[in-house]
């Protein structure tokens, strides 16, 4: 499940070693970063395809997929055992105890072969509390400043980067779901220290996968609105909700209708209270079991994500 991991190993963790003199010798395609006086303050290079930045006080592995480095592609993802072996390999190649490095970013991800084109699934993934939802660059993003959830077409990404798509995934629809922990990791995981060897600790691994799963479950799923059926309408309240559901359909669906409410409030056409009341009414209509039915694409995705958690834990 792991993909991008960022490491920071301080000099005192590395032992009695001149980091700037020794570590760059193990890297390729290095470049120096200097002060105006010409003093080298950091060197950036690559350990195969891992980006490594070195100063006299620390070594950082940044902006790199540990999975792609270890498994040679990231249609697969790193298991707990793979992660341990990958960190051991990195430690051997850098001659450093990278298992003791602080972790400053974690990406958790899985790819799913799905029945439909990936943007079909975006249309059924609604709002998520405390996150902003944004569709861009043929992907769907949920951002709350410390975490980022991303859904995108993995095959399209590889083709864009001119990378070879593994045979198993060629001519298939492949939806990738990532959860990126990008800031304040110690606070998020309620721990005074988060070092690399903890990534393959069984309890930590189960916990982080459960976070990935719970984040997906908390996304509001867009249900399909049914056509009007008077045999199912027995009360005035049900008839009112049916009228609301037809209006929602006319306005382009639940997400589009909510966007129009937000815009109306910003333009002063609705008060905050009025918008809140209308959102409750929309929610009641869109979640009614009489007026709506589950989306088959969400049923498919729910099953695949639940199976992924069961398998990897």
Residue 294 token pair: 């589950």
In a domain, 313, yes or no: no
If asked whether residues 109 and 243 sit together in one domain, one would say: no
How many of the other CB atoms lie within 10 Å of CB of 27?
A: 20
Residue 224 near residue 293 (C-beta atoms within 8 A) = yes
If asked whether residues 15 and 153 sit together in one domain, one would say: yes
In a domain, 299, yes or no: no
In a domain, 183, yes or no: yes
pLDDT for 287 equals 87
If asked whether residues 261 and 206 sit together in one domain, one would say: no
If asked whether residues 178 and 208 sit together in one domain, one would say: yes
If asked whether residues 214 and 245 sit together in one domain, one would say: no
Q: How far, in Å, CA of 274 to CA of 258, rounded?
A: 13
How far out from the chain centre does Cα 268 lie?
35
Q: How many residues does the chain have?
A: 313
If asked whether residues 59 and 172 sit together in one domain, one would say: yes
Give the global pTM.
Answer: 0.90
Of 154, 184, 218, the one marking the end of a domain is 218
Residue 305 near residue 215 (C-beta atoms within 8 A) = no
pLDDT for 51 equals 97
Residue 42 token pair: 């950091």
pLDDT for 286 equals 86
If asked whether residues 256 and 107 sit together in one domain, one would say: no
Residue 195 near residue 100 (C-beta atoms within 8 A) = yes
> 142 pairs with which residues across the strands?
133, 149
pLDDT for 292 equals 86
> H helices of 174-289, where?
185-188, 202-218, 236-250, 254-266, 272-286
The residue behind tokens 């975006």 is 122
If asked whether residues 192 and 289 sit together in one domain, one would say: no
In a domain, 17, yes or no: yes
Residue 132 token pair: 């902003």
If asked whether residues 158 and 181 sit together in one domain, one would say: yes
Q: How far, in Å, CA of 155 to CA of 12, rounded?
A: 42
pLDDT for 296 equals 95
Task: Identify which of 296, 281, 303 has the alpha carbon closest to the alpha carbon of residue 224.
Answer: 296
Task: Tell me which residue range forms the domain holding 271.
Answer: 224-294
pLDDT for 230 equals 66
Q: How far, in Å, CA of 61 to CA of 292, rounded?
A: 48
Of 156, 189, 218, the one marking the end of a domain is 218
pLDDT for 39 equals 74
pLDDT for 228 equals 64
Task: Identify which of 218, 219, 216, 213 has the alpha carbon closest to the alpha carbon of residue 311.
Answer: 213
How do beta strands 102-114 and 58-62 pair? unpaired
In a domain, 6, yes or no: yes
If asked whether residues 211 and 279 sit together in one domain, one would say: no
In a domain, 306, yes or no: no
Q: How far, in Å, CA of 115 to CA of 270, rounded?
A: 41
pLDDT tens digits for range 95-119: 999 999 999 999 999 999 999 999 9
Write out residues in the chain with pLDDT < 70, as ranges.
36, 38, 227-232, 311-313
Of 218, 252, 286, the one marking the end of a domain is 218
If asked whether residues 129 and 146 sit together in one domain, one would say: yes
pLDDT for 288 equals 85
**How many domains is the chain partitioned into structurally?**
2
């Amino acid at each position: 499940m792991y993909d991008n991991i960022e490491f920071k190993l301080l000099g005192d963790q590395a032992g009695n070693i001149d980091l700037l003199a020794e570590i760059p010798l193990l890297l390729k395609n290095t470049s120096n970063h200097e002060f105006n006086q010409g003093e080298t303050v950091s060197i950036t290079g690559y350990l195969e395809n891992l980006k490594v930045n070195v100063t006299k006080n620390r070594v950082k592995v940044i902006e790199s997929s540990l999975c792609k480095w270890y498994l040679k592609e990231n249609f697969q993802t790193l298991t707990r055992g793979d992660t341990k072996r990958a960190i051991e390999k990195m430690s051997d190649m850098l001659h450093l105890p990278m298992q003791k490095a602080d972790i400053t970013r974690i990406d958790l991800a899985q790819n799913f072969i799905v029945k439909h084109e990936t943007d079909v699934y975006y249309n059924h993934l609604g709002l998520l509390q405390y996150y902003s939802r944004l569709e861009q660059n043929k992907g769907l993003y949920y951002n709350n400043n410390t975490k980022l959830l991303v859904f995108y077409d993995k095959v399209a990404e590889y083709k864009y980067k001119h990378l070879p798509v593994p045979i198993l995934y060629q001519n298939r629809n492949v939806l990738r779901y990532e959860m990126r922990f990008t800031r304040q990791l110690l606070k998020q995981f309620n721990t005074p220290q988060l070092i690399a060897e903890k990534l393959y600790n069984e309890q930590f691994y189960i916990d982080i996968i459960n976070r990935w799963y719970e984040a997906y479950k908390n996304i509001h799923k867009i249900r399909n609105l049914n056509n009007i059926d008077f045999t199912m309408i027995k009360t005035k309240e049900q008839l009112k909700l049916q009228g609301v559901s037809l209006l929602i359909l006319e306005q382009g669906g639940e997400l589009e209708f909510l966007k129009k409410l937000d815009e109306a409030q910003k333009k002063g056409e609705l008060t905050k209270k009025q918008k809140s009341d209308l959102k409750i009414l929309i929610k009641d209509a869109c979640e009614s079991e009489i007026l709506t039915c589950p989306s088959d694409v969400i049923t498919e995705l729910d099953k695949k994500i639940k199976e992924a958690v069961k398998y990897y834990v």
